[in-house]
């Protein structure tokens, strides 16, 4: 999961930030300007510098023990430069004037070296305007202001509540928090400071059969990680929910193995977000479609763009997929991206038809023909992101969400309308090919539906799908009252792999006639 950092006094008081890193501090501005000047003097036509301070905290427990209580902080800066259309990037932990100049020159020297293998020079779409501003994530309670004893007591109480359930053998629980304060300065005059928060509590319960022939785990992944403060932990009601999760873990031991075949699937939003992430989020990244990620994350079935934009039917008319970095509390939500663009909300799928890719300033220029044909400006959607000061920014997923249907209906309504099917709750095993066609997903809980009613629990369920058929097999979706924001830390892409945190909002859906396999084997 998200690796980053954080620091110091945990029980109260914000970080006693040293002068060199507090947001808006003159010394940060001086260092940023020094880096830009050094890069420009060395020959960069464009440069940007990010200076950041990350604090994170991890608490992990099992049963009545605290296994880990870890506070981390990291400071540093990274300079990106563009020389004759070739990128360079260098970063360092030493926030001194000498090191800033050295690293800026190192970045430019690297860009010069990279020109040797240049075929098509990079050009950048306009940033909109040279942005100056500050932004702070919606966090009501700074997690670092909450006493560590209170956090530990909450987790151990949740564990105790879970262990009271007969048959629950093990419980692991924890919390993760991040606060990132970052400053971006660009050679075009942009100067932005932002504060991001991330929070995730979890409780996982394992039940083991008496004869040691089986074990089953219920993960609390219906409590999604979010871009919020400690209020997200409070709202998760861990102590109240832990016994429910424990009961479900025990129940999974005696669930009926699924019979393979075709079923109508009713998918809970706390499961569906991951299917959206894999089968819509990733294939609509423009760098993938253009082959830039072929060696690791993969390419996309939506390639070349001219064959798919405005033509490809992703799903039924009522399917609309939005890309944004604006939903309150969502993980990808920011005021500005990592090259200073104010992100906009945009429709990736519009009335079932593929409408747009996720872009950065470099990438937006590749789609000028499409934006011109739509009488739209060629500008970045604001999807530039780097996981830390030490890594170069590139295109990462914004929040990619399935918009609610017009009819106000929910989970129970979809089940009631289904004659023979399987209802799936929570995300589980997941795997998809490098062009995002063939996927296999499991979940946390599976229920058999007969005659519009849930008749029992199933186990060893996974569905296999081909992306276009799966989404075109969707015939029902929930209304806005059933909307839920799922998401994850740790979405990997790029080499070296960088971890992105992203949310996906969605409503329950029904998909007809989907292939279900049984994953149980005997050792």
Q: Which residues, 204 to 263, sit near other proteins by CB under 8 A? A: 206, 208-209, 211-215, 217
CB of 403 to other proteins, least distance (A): 28
Stretch of 296-304, 322-330, 340-348, 373-381 lying at the interface with other proteins (CB under 8 A): 296-304
516 binds other proteins (CB under 8 A): no
Q: How far apart are CA 361 and CA 384, in angstroms?
A: 8
- Taking a C-beta distance cutoff of 8 angstroms, is the pair 514, 264 a contact? yes
Bridge partner residues of 191 (DSSP): 132, 185
Residues numbered 118-157 forming contacts with other proteins, rule: CB under 8 A: 118-120, 147-149, 152, 156
**Rounded to an integer, what distance in angstroms lies between the CA atom of residue 106 and that of residue 511?**
53
Of 123, 374, 431, 513, which lies in the binding site for other proteins, with binding defined by CB under 8 A? Answer: 431
In the complex with other proteins, which residue's Cβ is closer, 64 or 237?
64
**Would you say how long the chain is, in residues?**
523
Residue 57 Cα distances to 2, 73, 200, angstroms: 11, 9, 11
Site residues for other proteins, 273-292, by CB under 8 A, read: 290-292
* Shortest reach from residue 355's CB to other proteins, in Å: 22
Q: Does 96 bind other proteins (CB under 8 A)?
A: no
22, 106, 284, 365: which one binds other proteins (CB under 8 A): 106
In the complex, the smallest distance separating the C-beta of residue 419 from other proteins, rounded to whole angstroms, is 26
**Residue nearer to other proteins on the CB measure, 212 or 375:** 212
Question: What's the min distance (Å) between Cβ of 452 and other proteins?
Answer: 30
Residue 391 beta carbon to other proteins: minimum distance, rounded to whole angstroms: 7
The footprint of other proteins on residues 36-95 (CB under 8 A) is 64-76, 78, 86-94
DSSP state of 365: G
Nearest distance in Å: CB 118, other proteins: 6
Binding to other proteins (CB under 8 A) within 354-373 occurs at: none
Distance CA 167, CA 183 (A): 51
Distance CA 268, CA 126 (A): 40
Copy the structure tokens of residue 203: 């409780």
DSSP state string for 38-67: HHHHTT-SEEEEEEEEEEEEEEEEETTEEE
CB of 262 to other proteins, least distance (A): 13
Buried b (16+ CB within 10 A) or exposed e, 474-500: bebbbbeebbbbbbbbebebbeeebbb
Kindly state the smallest distance separating residue 168's Cβ from other proteins, in Å: 12
Chain positions 434 to 453 lying near other proteins, rule: CB under 8 A, are 434-438, 440, 442
Q: Out of 48, 247, 293, 413, name the contact with other proteins by CB under 8 A.
A: 293
Contact between 116 and other proteins per CB under 8 A: yes
- What is the C-alpha radius of gyration for the chain, rounded to an integer number of angstroms? 24
Query: CB within 8 A of 221, min separation 6: which ones?
Result: 202, 270, 426, 427, 444
């Amino acid at each position: 999961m998200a690796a980053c950092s954080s620091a110091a006094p945990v029980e109260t008081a914000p970080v006693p930030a040293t002068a060199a890193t507090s947001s808006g501090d003159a010394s940060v501005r001086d260092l940023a300007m020094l880096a830009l000047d050094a890069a420009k003097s060395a020959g960069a036509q464009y440069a940007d510098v990010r200076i950041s301070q990350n604090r994170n905290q991890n608490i992990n427990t099992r049963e009545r023990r605290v296994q880990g209580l870890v506070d981390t902080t990291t400071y540093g800066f990274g300079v990106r430069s563009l020389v004759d259309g070739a990128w360079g990037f260098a970063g360092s932990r030493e926030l001194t004037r000498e090191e800033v100049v050295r690293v800026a020159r190192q970045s430019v020297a690297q860009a010069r070296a990279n020109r040797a293998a240049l075929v098509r020079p990079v050009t950048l779409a306009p940033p909109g305007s040279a942005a100056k501003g500050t932004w702070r994530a919606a966090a009501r309670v700074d997690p670092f202001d909450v006493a560590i004893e209170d956090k530990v007591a909450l987790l151990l109480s949740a564990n105790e509540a879970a262990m009271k359930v007969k048959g629950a053998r093990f419980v692991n629980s924890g919390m993760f928090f991040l606060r990132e304060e970052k400053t971006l300065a660009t050679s075009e005059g942009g100067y932005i400071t932002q504060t991001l928060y991330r929070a995730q509590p979890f409780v996982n319960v394992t039940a083991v059969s008496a004869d040691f022939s089986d074990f089953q785990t219920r993960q609390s992944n219906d409590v999604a990680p979010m871009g919020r403060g400690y209020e997200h932990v409070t709202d998760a009601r861990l102590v109240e929910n832990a016994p429910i999760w424990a009961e479900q873990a025990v129940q999974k031991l005696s669930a009926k193995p699924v019979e393979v075949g075709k079923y109508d699937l009713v998918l809970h939003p706390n499961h569906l977000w991951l299917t959206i992430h894999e089968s819509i989020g990733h294939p609509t990244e423009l760098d993938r479609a253009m082959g830039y990620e072929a060696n690791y994350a993969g390419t996309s079935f939506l390639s070349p763009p001219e064959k798919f934009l405005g033509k490809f039917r992703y799903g039924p008319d009522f399917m609309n997929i939005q890309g944004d970095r604006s939903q309150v509390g969502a993980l990808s939500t920011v005021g500005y991206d990592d090259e200073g663009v104010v992100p906009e909300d945009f429709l990736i799928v519009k009335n079932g038809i593929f409408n747009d890719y996720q872009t950065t300033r470099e990438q937006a220029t590749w789609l000028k023909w499409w934006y011109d044909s739509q009488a739209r400006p060629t500008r970045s959607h604001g999807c530039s992101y780097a996981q830390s000061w030490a890594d170069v920014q590139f295109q990462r997923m914004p929040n990619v969400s399935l918009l609610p249907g017009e009819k106000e209906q929910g989970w129970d309504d979809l089940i009631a309308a289904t004659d023979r099917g399987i209802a799936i709750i929570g995300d589980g095993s997941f795997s998809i090919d490098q062009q995002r066609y063939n996927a296999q997903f499991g979940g946390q809980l599976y229920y058999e539906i007969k005659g519009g009613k849930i008749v029992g629990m199933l186990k060893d369920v996974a569905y296999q799908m081909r992306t276009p058929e799966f989404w075109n097999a969707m015939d029902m979706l929930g209304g806005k009252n059933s909307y839920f924001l799922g998401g994850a830390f740790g979405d990997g892409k790029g080499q070296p792999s960088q971890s992105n945190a992203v949310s996906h909002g969605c409503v329950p859906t029904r998909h007809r006639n989907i292939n279900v396999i049984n994953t149980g084997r005997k050792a």
